[in-house]
Structure 1
Amino acid sequence: MSIHYPRLTQKSRRLLDQITLNHGPREKLGHFFLAADKAARDRGITLTLSTDFELLREVNKMNLKHWHGLAPSFDAAYGGIDGSCGYWIMGHNAAGEIVSTQAAHFYDMATETVGDYLRSLRLFYPHPETQKRSGESCNVSSPNADKINGRVVFSGSTWIHPDYRGRDLPKILPRISRALALTRWDTDYTISLVSMALVEKGVAKAYGYQRIEPGVEWLGSAVSDRYLGALVWMPRAELLQDVDRFESEVGHREHAPANAQDVVRHAPAAN
C-alpha cells in the first residue's frame, strides 16, 4: 500500500478513549460506541478521532486515484473547519497505514435551512463571496431542503481504501460519526450529499439513510464541473433508532458491560 501517516510519530489514541458523552441517552450510545469500535477492529481497522484537518488534506491528496478531491466543507485551506466545529475519524491498519476516513462539520443554522446554506454556498465555504470559483452555484430542489434547520451536522468525506472495501465499513463509519456529533453538539439533524451514481449503487442506504432526496446540482466547483447528487438526511429520533439497528445490520455484538456509558467518558449531569 502507498498510504502512510504523513506526520504522526506517536501511537494514536483509541477512539473510545476520546469520546465524552455530553448529550443523548448515555446507555444506548455507550453500548453503540463499544459495538461499533469492535466491529471496526474485527475488520482489521483501529479508529482514532482527529481534528488535524491538514492531515486529512494530505491523505486525500495521496489517494486521488480512488477518491475525489476534498469537499471545501472539510478542507482546512478554506478556514471554515477546525476542532471547534469539526472532526474526522481515521482508520488505520496494524502497519499504521491510514485506510479510511469519515468527517463531520457542525453548523448552528438557527432558523435558516439547509437549502439556504446550499444555495448561498455557505455549506461549503465560510466566505463564499470571495472563496467560490467564478460561476460556481448550487441549485436545490430536494423536497425537505427548506425545512431542515437548527443544529445540523454535515457528514462526509467517507473514504475507504480499495483494499478494505467489501468489509461493511460504510455501515460502520457514518453511524459512528452521526452518533458522535449528537453527543458532542446535541444535533437535531444529520445531512450528507451523495452523488446520484452512488445512490443508484445503494451506497446512501448502506450509510443508514432512509430519506434520500435527489435534487442537488452543484456547478463549477473544485470537486466537479457538474455534481448531481441527493440530499440525504436523518432527524435525531431516527438516528437513535438506527443505532438500535446496528447490531442486526453489521453483525452480532458481544455482551457489553451493564453500564456501558461508564466505559466511555461522560460529562456531569449538570452539563
Structure 2
Amino acid sequence: MMKRVANPLHISRFLQVYDDDAARKGVNLSIGFDFDRYVSITRTTPTKRPTYPNFRPDRSPIKSGEGFWMMGVDKNGEVAVLQAVRMYDLSRSNFADYLESLKAFYADPTVHAHPNDSCTCLAPSAKKISGKVAYHGDAWVRRDYRGKGIPNIMAGMAFGVSFAMWAPDFVCALVPRWLVDKGVLAQYEYTHNELGGSILRLVEEDISNEDWLTWVTGDELRTRVDRHAREFAR
C-alpha cells in the first residue's frame, strides 16, 4: 500500500515546537549536511567523545540526502549540543544483520575493520527493523545544559527532519544502559526499548560498549507529527 504523502505544514509545525523550546532554553539550533564539517566540529568540541565511524566520511561516507546533523549553540556562539542522523537502506537486510556485518559502521569492513572487531545484536526486534531506517546517534549535550530537557528537543528535531526527508519505516538508536537507568532515555520519546541492541568492539576506535536498542515505527512517527500539528494549531 502506498504511503500517504507527508504534510509539509504538519512537519513545519512539529519542528517549530522543538525549535521554540530550544530557544527558550538559550540554544540556537541549526542543521547541516556536510559531514566533513561535522567531524571538524566534533573533534574540537571539549568533553565530547570521538564520533563513531558511521558518521565519519573517512570510514563511512554519507551520500547527499542520506544524512544530516544538528548543532545547538549558546548565546556566545559556543557549541552546546550535537547529534547526527543517517538513513540506512535496509530493503534487503535488517538492522541486526547490518550491525553484525559491521556495515553499519564501515562502508567496507574488509578494508577498514580490524580483524578483532565484532558486533553482536541480541535484541529480537532488530531482525524486524528493515526498509528505510533512520539511525539517530552521536548525541552530546554540554554539562551545563544537562537536566534541562535537551534530549527531548533533539530527539524531536531528529524525528521531524527524518520524517520530512525520508518518511522512514523506522527511526532507531543504540543507547547506553546508564541512559535507561537514569531515566534519560524516556526523554527521547522512543516508543520501544530492548536490551541487547549492540555488543560492540571496534579495536582501532577504542570502542567497547553494550547498548540498548530503542526505536519508533514509521506509522508511530507519522501519528506523532500529525498530533503535534493539531495541538500547535489550537
SS at match of 1:33: helix
Equivalent residue for 2:135, pick from 154, 161, 164? 154
* Cα drift, residue 123 of structure 1: 0.9
* Cα drift, residue 114 of structure 1: 0.4
- TM-score, reference length from structure 1: 0.77
Equivalent residue for 2:220, pick from 213, 238, 251? 238
Structure 1's 225 and 54: CA in aligned 2 closer, same or farther, altered over 3 A? closer
* Cα drift, residue 221 of structure 1: 4.3
Task: Tell whether 2:17 aligns with 1:35.
Answer: yes
Aligned to 1:132: 113
Task: Tell whether 2:34 aligns with 1:63.
Answer: no
Structure 1's 151 and 245: CA in aligned 2 closer, same or farther, altered over 3 A? same
* Cα drift, residue 33 of structure 1: 1.3
Aligned to 1:111: 92
SS at match of 2:127: coil
Contact 2:45 2:79 in 1 (8 A): no
Post-superposition Cα deviations, 1:222-254, rounded to whole Å, max 9, x if no partner, equal: 55542100111110122234446769xxxxx8x
SS at match of 1:197: helix
* Cα drift, residue 38 of structure 1: 0.7
Taking the TM superposition and a 5 Å limit, the aligned residue runs for 1:17-96 are: 23-63=5-45, 65=47, 67-96=48-77
> Which consecutive residues of structure 1, in runs of 5 or more, have no partner in the other structure?
1-21, 248-252, 259-271
Amino acid at match of 1:28: H
Write the distance in 2 (CA, Å) between the matches of 1:169 and 1:244.
22
* Cα drift, residue 39 of structure 1: 0.8
Aligned to 2:209: 227
> Which consecutive residues of structure 2, in runs of 5 or more, have no partner in the other structure?
none
Structure 1's 205 and 242: CA in aligned 2 closer, same or farther, altered over 3 A? farther
Percent of counterpart pairs with the same letter?
28
* Cα drift, residue 37 of structure 1: 1.1
* Cα drift, residue 180 of structure 1: 0.8
Post-superposition Cα deviations, 1:69-94, rounded to whole Å, max 9, x if no partner, equal: 21111112214224331110111122
Contact 2:133 2:169 in 1 (8 A): yes
* Cα drift, residue 23 of structure 1: 4.8
Aligned to 1:122: 103
Contact 2:71 2:83 in 1 (8 A): yes
Write the distance in 1 (CA, Å) between the matches of 2:78 and 2:138.
18
Write the distance in 2 (CA, Å) between the matches of 1:166 and 1:222.
33
Contact 1:23 1:185 in 2 (8 A): no
Contact 2:54 2:60 in 1 (8 A): no
